[in-house]
């Protein structure tokens, strides 16, 4: 239990409260969030948990049970914290953003326990940010809509990852038994029911290529360059969200090749999100699966953020009977694929894809059942908290 771990670390469990924030798997709408487009994630029962109680020494203490490392700082100096470029920048960055937004950062003892596999593309960082934010806020009143924005600001301005709002937003506002359609410009969320006769499985490639971080920044710059090109034709274009399919087809021949392919992915991916939602409402599983595969091919060839392991997992999955579709999910260059299966075939799927992946890469993938879970909050009872998931190598 997390409270027992807390007692071992800090010598007390008096007044301990536990806050939870889920990871997520994105069904479709990849690399559209920082282009102010549309995404369709579901929250997971994989989550980050933070146990917290007041500290008597004027300091915030943060300990990671998975890392076996700690960090501390004076609570009164939370607004001036510097990054140290490791995992602790996530809670420290959240504390700094909350402090600068006018919230009180009280001295606390925090212990972090996460079941979201790091580097998997299932948003372990946002789960950590949101759970730490709830623990630091404790009994303070706060605007729930600001919480994802402040957590995202911590990741962008403090950690240095130019991410969009999707991960933090769904971690806060997810609905059980539904996906969440997010408009990343207006920050409006709409629950989208999923067909009853399907299962969603994430397959962790167990790899994360170093190219991911630098390429992510490069893609944001390429998208900004594409916006400049389209704005010359239509001054109303403020982001790739504003580029219609018709405008894309009209302007694409005159756009530099690489920038054009990046723009094509984003514009068509936004369209695929719309079509996927409509297909889900009709319980059209074949169409949903087809759109997932189209999304992956676009990420592979137009956006160029896939890798050999992800491509192999997708190609293998769609050849297994009972699989409607598959695609990479998350930032790319490793991490997970998301797979849409007919209910009842998951065991055969696990066996087949594991055997094929082991034979090709000598790696055993981790496979997670994706049950759409509720958003973040405080644990009100002695809910059993699972062990952490294995890390990718």
**CA 363 – CA 353 distance, rounded (Å):** 11
Block residue for tokens 């997010």: 182
Residue bearing tokens 């799927």: 349
- CA distances, 154 to each of 79, 147, 160, 248, 385 (Å): 12, 11, 8, 34, 26
Q: Is the dihedral of CA 127, 128, 130, 132 positive or negative?
A: positive
For 111, phi then psi, to 5°, come to -125, 130
Please choose, from the candidates 14, 13, 110, 8, the residue with its C-alpha nearest in 3D space to the C-alpha of residue 59: 110
Tokens matching residue 145: 């809509």
Tell me if 364 sits within 8 A of 357, measured CB to CB: yes
- Please report how the helices 124-137 and 166-173 are oriented relative to each other, as an axis angle in degrees rounded to 10: 50
**Separation between Cα atoms, residue 244 and residue 225, nearest integer Å:** 17
**Cα(122)–Cα(132) distance, integer angstroms:** 17
Q: Is 248 exposed, middle or buried (0-12, 13-18, 19+ CB in 10 A)?
A: buried
CA–CA gap between residue 139 and residue 329 (Å, rounded): 35
Is residue 314 helix, strand or coil? helix
Query: 22 and 45 in contact (C-beta within 8 Å)?
Result: yes
Number of CB atoms found within 10 A of residue 156's CB? 17
Residues annotated as catalytic are: 167
């Amino acid at each position: 239990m997390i409270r027992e771990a807390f007692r071992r670390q800090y010598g007390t469990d008096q007044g301990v409260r536990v806050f939870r924030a889920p990871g997520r798997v994105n069904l479709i709408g990849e690399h559209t969030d920082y282009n102010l487009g549309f995404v369709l994630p579901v929250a997971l029962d994989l989550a980050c948990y933070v146990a917290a109680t007041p500290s008597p020494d004027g300091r915030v203490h943060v300990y990671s049970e998975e890392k076996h490392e700690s960090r501390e700082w004076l609570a009164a100096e939370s607004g001036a914290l510097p990054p140290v470029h490791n995992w602790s920048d996530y809670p420290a960055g959240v504390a700094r953003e909350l402090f600068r937004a006018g919230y009180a950062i009280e001295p606390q003892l925090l212990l972090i326990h996460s079941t979201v596999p790091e580097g998997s593309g299932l948003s372990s960082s946002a789960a950590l940010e949101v759970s730490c934010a709830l623990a630091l806020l404790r009994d303070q009143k706060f605007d729930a809509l600001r919480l994802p924005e402040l957590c995202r600001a911590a990741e962008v301005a403090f950690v240095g990852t130019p991410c969009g709002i999707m991960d933090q937003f769904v971690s806060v506002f997810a609905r059980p038994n539904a996906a969440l359609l997010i408009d990343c410009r207006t920050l409006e969320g709409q629950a989208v029911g999923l067909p009853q006769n399907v299962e969603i499985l994430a397959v962790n490639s167990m790899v994360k290529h170093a190219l991911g971080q630098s390429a992510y920044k490069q893609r944001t710059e390429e998208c900004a360059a594409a916006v400049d090109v389209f704005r010359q034709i239509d001054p109303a274009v403020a982001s790739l969200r504003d580029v219609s399919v018709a405008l894309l087809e009209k302007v694409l021949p005159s756009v530099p090749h690489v920038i054009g392919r990046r723009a094509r992915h984003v514009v068509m991916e936004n369209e695929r999100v719309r079509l996927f939602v409509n297909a889900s409402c009709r319980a059209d599983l074949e169409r949903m699966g087809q759109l997932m595969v189209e999304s992956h091919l676009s990420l592979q060839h137009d956006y160029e953020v896939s890798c050999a392991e992800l491509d192999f997992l997708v190609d293998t999955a769609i050849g297994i009977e009972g699989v409607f579709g598959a695609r990479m999910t998350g930032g790319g260059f490793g991490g997970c694929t998301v797979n849409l299966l007919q209910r009842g075939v998951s065991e055969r799927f696990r066996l087949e894809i594991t055997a094929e992946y082991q034979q090709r890469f000598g790696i055993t993938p981790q496979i997670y059942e994706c049950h759409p879970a509720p958003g973040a909050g405080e644990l009100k009872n002695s809910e059993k908290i699972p062990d952490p998931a294995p890390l990718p190598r």
